[in-house]
Structure 1
Amino acid sequence: MRSPYLRRRQLAAEVRKLREARGLTIDALAEYVHISRSKIIRLENAQLRPDLADLMNILEALGIPEQQHDQIIQLAREAATRGWWDRYGMSMGPRQKLAADLEFHAETIRSYDQTAMPAILQSPEFISALVDLDKTQGSLDYHPDRMISARENRQGQLLRPDGPYYETVLDECVIHRLAVPPQAMAAQLRHMIELVSNEERITVQVLPHDVRIPGGFLPKCSFYLYTFADPGDAPMAVVDTVTTDLILTKRSEVARYTGMYDRLRAAALSREDSIAFLTGVADRLTDHAGSET
Structure 2
Amino acid sequence: MTSPFVRRRRLATELRALREERGMTAERLSLLMYQSRMKISRLENAHIRPDLAEVVKILEVLEVTGDKWHEIFNIARDAAEKGWWDSYGDAMGSRQRLYADIESGAKTIREYNQFTIPGLLQTPDFVRFIVEMAKAEGAVGFLPERMAEARLRRQEQLLDIQGCQYEAILDEVVVCRRAAPLQIMLGQLRHLIETVLRHPRITIYVLPLAADFTGRLLPKSAFSLYTFPSPEDPPMTVVDTVSTDLVHIEPDEVMRYTQRYEHLRQAALSATASLGLLTDAADDLQKRIESEA
- 2:160 match: secondary structure: coil
Distance 1:6 1:127, change over 3 A: same
**What is aligned with 2:250?**
250
**What is aligned with 1:189?**
189
**What is aligned with 1:49?**
49
* Structure 2 Cα separation of the partners of residues 251 and 41 of structure 1: 22
Distance 1:210 1:83, change over 3 A: same
Q: Is the 8 A contact 1:214 1:263 kept in 2?
A: no
**What is aligned with 2:159?**
159
Unaligned runs of 5+ in 2: none
**What is aligned with 1:2?**
2
- 1:136 match: secondary structure: helix
**What is aligned with 2:268?**
268
* Structure 1 Cα separation of the partners of residues 270 and 67 of structure 2: 52
Which amino acid is the alignment partner of residue 95 of structure 1?
Answer: R
- 2:104 match: secondary structure: helix
TM-score, normalization: structure 2?
A: 0.90
Q: Is the 8 A contact 1:85 1:100 kept in 2?
A: yes
Higher mean C-alpha deviation, range 116-125 or range 50-59: 50-59
Q: Is the 8 A contact 2:170 2:204 kept in 1?
A: yes
* Structure 2 Cα separation of the partners of residues 127 and 79 of structure 1: 30
Query: Alpha-carbon deviation of 1:264?
Result: 0.9
**What is aligned with 2:121?**
121
Which amino acid is the alignment partner of residue 7 of structure 2?
Answer: R
**What is aligned with 2:231?**
231
**What is aligned with 1:131?**
131
Query: Alpha-carbon deviation of 1:95?
Result: 2.8
Query: Alpha-carbon deviation of 1:292?
Result: 5.4
Q: Is the 8 A contact 1:133 1:179 kept in 2?
A: no
* Structure 2 Cα separation of the partners of residues 34 and 252 of structure 1: 36
* Structure 1 Cα separation of the partners of residues 116 and 45 of structure 2: 28
* Structure 2 Cα separation of the partners of residues 110 and 179 of structure 1: 23
Q: Is the 8 A contact 2:107 2:227 kept in 1?
A: yes
Which amino acid is the alignment partner of residue 122 of structure 1?
Answer: Q
**What is aligned with 1:213?**
213
Higher mean C-alpha deviation, range 224-233 or range 182-191: 224-233
* Structure 1 Cα separation of the partners of residues 70 and 233 of structure 2: 20
Query: Alpha-carbon deviation of 1:66?
Result: 5.3
Which amino acid is the alignment partner of residue 35 of structure 1?
Answer: Q
RMSD after superposition: 2.2
* Structure 2 Cα separation of the partners of residues 232 and 57 of structure 1: 24
Unaligned runs of 5+ in 1: none
**What is aligned with 1:282?**
282
* Structure 1 Cα separation of the partners of residues 107 and 66 of structure 2: 34
Q: Is the 8 A contact 2:175 2:278 kept in 1?
A: no
Q: Is the 8 A contact 1:104 1:163 kept in 2?
A: no
**What is aligned with 2:80?**
80
Alignment coverage as a number of residue pairs = 293
Identity of counterpart residues, as a percentage? 49
* Structure 1 Cα separation of the partners of residues 177 and 39 of structure 2: 42
Which amino acid is the alignment partner of residue 122 of structure 2?
Answer: Q
- 2:275 match: secondary structure: helix
Query: Alpha-carbon deviation of 1:261?
Result: 1.3
Query: Alpha-carbon deviation of 1:192?
Result: 0.8
* Structure 1 Cα separation of the partners of residues 31 and 285 of structure 2: 63
* Structure 1 Cα separation of the partners of residues 232 and 62 of structure 2: 25
* Structure 2 Cα separation of the partners of residues 122 and 249 of structure 1: 27
* Structure 1 Cα separation of the partners of residues 230 and 56 of structure 2: 26
TM-score, normalization: structure 1?
A: 0.90
